[in-house]
Amino acid sequence: MNGLVRIGRVVFAVAMICFGSLYMIYASWVGMVAPGPPWSAGYRWIAWIIAIAFFAVGVCLVVQWKGRTAATLLGVALLWRALSAYLIGLLGHLRDPGPWTSGFELVALGGAALVLAATFPSDREGSAGVLDKFFAVGRYLFALALVVFGVQHFLYAGFVATIVPAWMPGKLFWAYFVGVAFFAAALSIVTGKKAKLASTLLGVMFLTWVVIVHMPRVAAAPHNGNEWTSEFVALAMGGASFLMISAVSRDKALR
């Protein structure tokens, strides 16, 4: 397995454990701010269940025990939540950017989980062929989410510019630049052209955001669940980007 894919798997798994930690803190401490979109906490006993599920999946992925099953269940769960909690509602709120962002964050992470599942050996003989076709969808779901993010960077460039760190010049330029980067990465991942380079640069970009964008925002508002969630989403997207290398490589090998 490519070294970057291994890093992506670990980073993605750590992000899942971080989501579990966020839910655990919310469930344990009365008054703690609930996780932000794309998640929702609900009752605290539900938060405990979600926390345990995230922890279990993350640990399985790190230690590579039942990793294929864990990643598959994670992918299905994330995609189901995207559909049930956000995507259906888009039909009546097409101009509301919130559901688009939250819904397709889940689509991207769900797709990445399916791609990750394919990197583990099959637990049952004879099931690999059918599942491989299912897992292959993950790559395209991830690319679709990137296209949505790219469109949003152009439609709401003014808002995106406000998130750019104050010390960086040309804030509007970076909003458009990242939008173009999303389009380019999506095209590369779908076509397989320069996909390793595109996935690597995309992963580096997301992980850089964790450090220069999200960490300062979390430090400025440590009790804000939205900021913590955004940081962990960026972390997961960084790992997910590296995982796309395996999807393209696997597709070429199967041809």
Q: Longest C-alpha distance within the chain, in Å?
A: 56
Q: Is residue 58 a contact partner of residue 249, using CB atoms and an 8 Å limit?
A: no
Residue 144 structure tokens: 């679709």
Percent of residues, the chain, with pLDDT higher than 70: 93
pLDDT band at 89 (very low <50, low <70, confident <90, very high): confident
Map tokens 């299912």 to a residue: 134
| Per-residue pLDDT tens digits for 30-81 | 666 789 999 987 788 899 999 999 999 999 999 999 999 999 999 999 999 9
Buried b (16+ CB within 10 A) or exposed e, 173-204: ebbbebbebbbbbbbbbbebebbbebbbbbbe
CA–CA–CA angle 112, 185, 144 (5° rounding): 55
Q: Look at residue 252 in the predicted model and tell me its pLDDT.
A: 53
Q: Look at residue 30 in the predicted model and tell me its pLDDT.
A: 61
Whether omega for the bond prior to residue 37 falls within 30 degrees of 0, making it cis, is no
Q: Is residue 191 a contact partner of residue 183, using CB atoms and an 8 Å limit?
A: no
User: What are the CA-CA distances from residue 1 to residues 10, 116, 160, 211 (Å)?
Assistant: 13, 12, 36, 27
| DSSP single-letter state for residue 152 | H
CA neighbor of 228 nearest in space, from 24, 81, 90: 24
pTM of the model: 0.93
Q: Look at residue 130 in the predicted model and tell me its pLDDT.
A: 66
